[in-house]
A = this chain, B = another copy of it.
Amino acid sequence: MFSDIAQYFRTEALPHIWCPGCGIGTITAAIVRSIKTLQLDQNKVVIVSGIGCSSRMPGYLDFNTLHTTHGRALAFATGIKASRPELDVFVIMGDGDASAIGGNHFIHAARRNIDLTAIIINNSIYGMTGGQSSPMTPHDKRATTSPYGNLERPFQILEVAKAAGATYGARATAFHNQLLTKLIVNAYNNPGFSVVETISQCPVAYGRRNKFKTPADMLLWQKEHGISAGRKELGAEDFLIGEIFKAEAPEYTQEYAKLRQRLKGE
């Protein structure tokens, strides 16, 4: 099937830089499949990212692609979308990128309910810099900056998104990549700020330190612990997958367009 989606890639840039077994590649393919499913005009698609392993994704994709500064992807994307709302803007962020340094842009994009499709690749770690804990590293897990186990609690990032005003939230994993493709399609179709949290494996910076022997072990963990709503009661390490919330609210660029219209009338 890669041959089916190869047209969306800058194949000359491949193979990519991600480590053996890293989930980002798998997720990349799933995202591209969503865009293919949506039959979006390649020339109108913009992919924006921050900095991190995940954020290297746009470089491999043949769209209008923008690899920005750490944590700021949503602010750049806001400029793009507000300036030219007819573009289809997807924003790729790592968990650190989105929720640590980028947390403020995240809640404000949600508050404005601006029509961006935000995909957080949550590998529970700062991959690019070699394995420091992120605000989404589970409690007690190891990272180079939590050598005694993470003292902090992770964000429930979809809860935060919802409280801040986002109108679509969903979760999948690299393993559940067909679900992921579907959720991204739905997220795109939501006319507002949509967040898809995607659990990924980082075998090198996270897995090694947290007793996962192989990348496959990490995918297995995703398979076991990613639970669809109602399937069973959630255990300690379990998490919901699928659509987590939907809401309705005015969308920023539409409101702005209405303002322009209204002023014309005056």
A112: chain B residues at CB < 8 Å are 152-153
* Interface residue? A151 (CB, 8 A): yes
Distance (whole angstroms) from the CB of A103 to the closest CB of chain B: 4
Cβ–Cβ contact B107 & A151, under 8 A:
no
Q: Could you tell me which residues of chain A, from 103 to 126, have a CB within 8 Å of some CB in chain B?
A: 103-104, 107-108, 111-113
- CB of B104 within 8 A of CB of A153, answer no
The reply on A162 being an interface residue by CB < 8 A is yes
Q: Which of B148, B155, B162, B263 contacts A259 (CB 8 A)?
A: B148
Which of the candidate stretches A8-16, A173-181, A229-237, A250-258 sits at the interface with the other chain? A250-258
Given contacts A160-B163, A160-B164, A163-B162, contact A151 B259 (CB under 8 A): yes
Say whether A165 contacts B153, CB under 8 Å: yes
B108 near A135: Cβ-Cβ < 8 Å: yes
B111 with A155: CB separation less than 8 A: yes
Residues of A at under 8 Å CB distance from B?
Answer: 100-101, 103-104, 107-108, 111-113, 135, 148, 151-156, 159-160, 162-165, 249-250, 252, 255-256, 259, 262-263
CB distance from A172 to the nearest CB of B (A): 21
* Residues of chain B with a CB closer than 8 A to A165's CB: 153, 155
Contacting residues, chain B, for A162 (C-beta < 8 A): 163
Complex Cα gap A256–B154 (Å): 16
For A155, list chain B residues within 8 Å (CB).
107, 111, 164-165
List of 10 A-B pairs having minimum Cβ-Cβ separation, nearest first: A163-B163, A104-B104, A103-B104, A159-B163, A151-B255, A160-B163, A103-B107, A160-B164, A111-B155, A112-B152
A246: min CB distance to chain B, Å: 16
User: What are 21 A-to-B residue pairs whose CB atoms are below 8 Å?
Assistant: A103-B104, A103-B107, A103-B108, A104-B104, A107-B107, A107-B160, A108-B135, A111-B135, A111-B154, A111-B155, A148-B259, A148-B263, A151-B255, A151-B256, A151-B259, A153-B249, A155-B164, A155-B165, A160-B160, A162-B163, A163-B164
